[in-house]
Amino acid sequence: MEKKTNSMITGKPLKWGTKLSYAGGDVACNVIFGMIGTLLTLFYTDYVGISPAIVGLIMLLSRLFDGVSDLIMGIIVEKTKSRWGKSRPWILWMSIPYAVSAVLLLTVPHTTGLLQFIYLFVTYNFCTTICYTAINLPYGSLSAMMTRASQERDMLSVVRMGLSPLGRIVAVTCTLPLVKLFGDDQAAWVKTMSIWAVLALILLLICFFRCEETVHIEAKEKAEKIKLKDGLKALFKNQYFWAVMILWMFQSVSFGISGTILPYYCKYILGNDTWMYSALFLTETLVLVVGIFACAPLIKKFGKRNIALAGSLIAFSGQLLFFLNPYSFPWVVMSCVTRAIGLAPLNAVVFGMIGDVVEFGQWKTHIRQESLIFAGGSIGTKVGAGIASAAMTVLLSVAGYVSSTTGNVVQPQQALDTIVSIYKFGPIMVAVCVFITLLFYRLDEKYDGIMIELGEREALGEL
C-alpha cells in the first residue's frame, strides 16, 4: 500500500550528488574519529607506555565534559544565524581546527606521568569534546534541515551510514601498515594521522559546499523564542527521543567494544597485530557497508524498527556461535561477519529515526528542536563510547595488563582471559539491550498521520 505523504511540507527529493556529499562529511569524521575509537588506546599503552587505567580515566572524565558540550553546542546551533543557515556553517568553521586537533592527540611528550596526563586530557578534550562536537552535531542536525520527507531522510541515513565506514576502513585498515612503514614508532603515528587529517579536511569542505539547508518553517520563524528550560522540558517529554538516544548509545558501545579490544585480541590471543587486525576490521566493515545498502528496500517494506529488531537477533545468535571456538581465526572472522550483518539494520535506520523524532516532538509539544534532539542523541553515543572504553581499560588494568613501548611484553594469563571475555560477552550485552529498547519504539506506524496533521497546522501558521 502506498503511504500518504504531504509534499507541501516534505519538499523536493534530494539529488544523489547531494546525498553523496553529505555522506562524505561522515566519512571525514570517521577517518579521524574511527581511529581514535579503535587504535588510540593501543597507541597510548604500547607506543607511549601509559597505563590503561590512566587512559580509561581520561576517556571517562572526558565523556562527562563531552555530554555537557553537546548540550551547549545544540543551544548554540539553535541560536546561530548566518547566510548559510544554522548547522551548515559550523562544518566550514571547524574543519581546520578538527584536522589540527587530531594530529595533536599523538604528539604526546615523553615527560613525567603528571604532565602526560595533563597533555592527554587537554588534547583529547580539544579534539573530541570541542572540535568533533562542533562539527558532528551540526552535521547530524543538518539532515533534518535538508528535507522533511521521511523516505528521503531514510535514504540519506542509508547513504551516510553505508559510506561512513569507509573512513574507518581507510584509517584503521591502513594505519598499522603505514605505521610499520614509517618506522613503527610515535613519529610514524603522527605522520599517518596527518594524512588522515588532510583527507578529512577535503571531504568536510565538499560537504559544506554541496549541502544546503532547504527546510524553512514560517511558523517556527514567527514563533516566540523558547526558553531553555521549556525546550529541555519538551525534549524530556519526547519518549522516542529517549529510545533513539539509547539505540545510538549502544551502537557506539558496540563499535567501542569491537574496535578497542580487537587490536589486543589479534596481538595477544591470535599472535598477529599487523595484517590480521586490518583483515578482520576490513571484513567486518565491508559486510556492514553492504548490509546497510541492502536495508534500503527492506526499510520501505518492513519499517525501520522491525528490521533493526531482526538485526539484533542475528547479532545475538551469531555471537553465541562464536563461543564454540573463540581462539580460532576462522571463528573470529565468523563473529565479525555476523556482528556486521546484525548491526547493519540499526546503522541504516538510526539517523532516519532521529529525524522522525524531530517531527514527533513538534507534533507532541508544538516545539521544533532539530539541534537539541541531535545533541541529546550525541550525548548518548559519546557517553556510551566513554563508558565502554573506560570499562575495558579498567578491566585490563585490574587483570594486570602490562603497558610498554616495546613489543616483547608477556601478558599475565588473567589479562589474556579478560581480553577474551570482553570480546565474547560485550556484543551479547549490546544485542540484548538494543532488542529490548526497540520493543518500545512504535513511531513508524504513527509517522504518516503525524506529518499530515503537521501540514494542516503549519498551513494555519501554527507549529
Distance CA 216, CA 146 (A): 9
Residue 1 pLDDT > 50: no
Please give the pLDDT value at position 3.
47
User: What number is the average pLDDT over the span 379-387?
Assistant: 76
- Choice between 11 and 128, residue whose per-residue pLDDT is larger: 128
Element of type H or E holding 18? helix 16-38
User: Do 440 and 243 meet the contact criterion of CB atoms below 8 Å apart?
Assistant: yes
pLDDT tens for 420-457 read 999 999 999 999 999 999 999 999 999 989 999 998 89
Residue 408 pLDDT > 70: no
pLDDT tens for 263-274 read 889 888 988 766
At the fourth CATH level, the homologous superfamily of domain 13-213+226-459 is MFS general substrate transporter like domains (1.20.1250.20)
Please give the pLDDT value at position 342.
95
Contacts 24+ apart (CB under 8 A), 70-74: 70/133, 70/137, 70/375, 70/376, 70/378, 70/379, 70/382, 71/372, 71/375, 71/376, 71/379, 73/133, 73/134, 73/137, 73/138, 73/371, 73/375, 74/137, 74/141, 74/371, 74/372, 74/374, 74/375, 74/376
- Of 23-27, 125-129, 221-225, 228-232, the poorest mean pLDDT is in 221-225
In angstroms, what CA-CA distances link 9 with 114, 374, 457? 56, 21, 11
User: What number is the average pLDDT over the span 62-88?
Assistant: 86
**Cβ contacts of 281 within 8 Å, gap of 6 or more:** 38, 168, 169, 172, 173, 259, 262
Residue 410 pLDDT > 90: no
Percent of the chain's residues with pLDDT above 90: 49
Q: Which range is most confident: 52-61, 67-76, 192-201?
A: 192-201
Please give the pLDDT value at position 55.
86
Across the chain, mean pLDDT equals 88
> Shortest CA distance to 31 belongs to which of 263, 227, 214, 199?
199
- Choice between 385 and 285, residue whose per-residue pLDDT is larger: 285
pLDDT tens for 284-322 read 888 999 999 999 999 989 999 999 999 999 999 989 988
Q: How confident is the model at residue 149 (pLDDT cuts 50, 70, 90)?
A: confident
Please give the pLDDT value at position 10.
59
Please give the pLDDT value at position 461.
82
pLDDT tens for 246-268 read 998 998 888 878 777 888 898 88
Q: Which range is most confident: 6-10, 214-218, 306-310?
A: 306-310
Please give the pLDDT value at position 2.
40
Residue 118 pLDDT > 80: yes
Please give the pLDDT value at position 193.
95
In angstroms, what CA-CA distances link 70 with 104, 131, 242, 462? 22, 11, 16, 29
User: What number is the average pLDDT over the span 137-155?
Assistant: 89
User: What number is the average pLDDT over the span 273-290?
Assistant: 84
Domain boundaries, the chain: 13-213+226-459
pLDDT tens for 329-365 read 999 999 889 999 999 999 999 989 998 999 999 999 9
Please give the pLDDT value at position 9.
59
**Cβ contacts of 102 within 8 Å, gap of 6 or more:** 32, 36, 127, 193, 196, 197, 200
Please give the pLDDT value at position 298.
94
Give this prediction's pTM. 0.78
